[in-house]
Amino acid sequence: MVKGTDRPIINEDERAFLLANLKAVDYVILFDDPTPEEMIRKILPDVLVKGEDWSIENIVGRDIVEKSGGEVKTIKFVNLQSTSKIIKKVLDTYNGK
């Protein structure tokens, strides 16, 4: 489990809905495998994107996408926001910090 036992805060159906309604997103696929490698192999996306906290070399499926002529990119966090920081702020407030 990458994020810990108290995650996710927003369930996968709600996250998928939010993502699917972004203009830049063509399609959202939910999967049960531990990594997206098999899904990436099946759909061969033109672009594979992860957050900037991942190095390109460690992105699962990078080799598959690049071999098929696609690109692998990382994106910066918006305003350095993250669910982890939001959770910490809520807990700090709750605990009187």
Residue 66 falls inside a structural domain = yes
Q: Model confidence over 17-60: pLDDT tens digits?
A: 999 999 988 889 998 999 999 999 999 999 999 988 899 999 99
Model pTM above 0.75: no
Domains of the chain: total: 1
Q: Which domain holds residue 50?
A: 12-94
Return the structure tokens found at 23: 């203009």
Residue 2 falls inside a structural domain = no
Residue 42 falls inside a structural domain = yes
Q: Model confidence over 1-18: pLDDT tens digits?
A: 566 677 788 889 999 999
Return the structure tokens found at 66: 């690049």
Length of the chain equals 97
Residue 7 falls inside a structural domain = no
Q: CB-based burial of residue 33 (10 Å sphere; 0-12 exposed, 13-18 middle, 19+ buried)? A: exposed
Q: Model confidence over 70-97: pLDDT tens digits?
A: 999 999 877 767 777 888 888 899 888 7
Provide the greatest CA pair distance for the chain.
52
Give CA–CA dist 26/28, Å, rounded.
Answer: 7
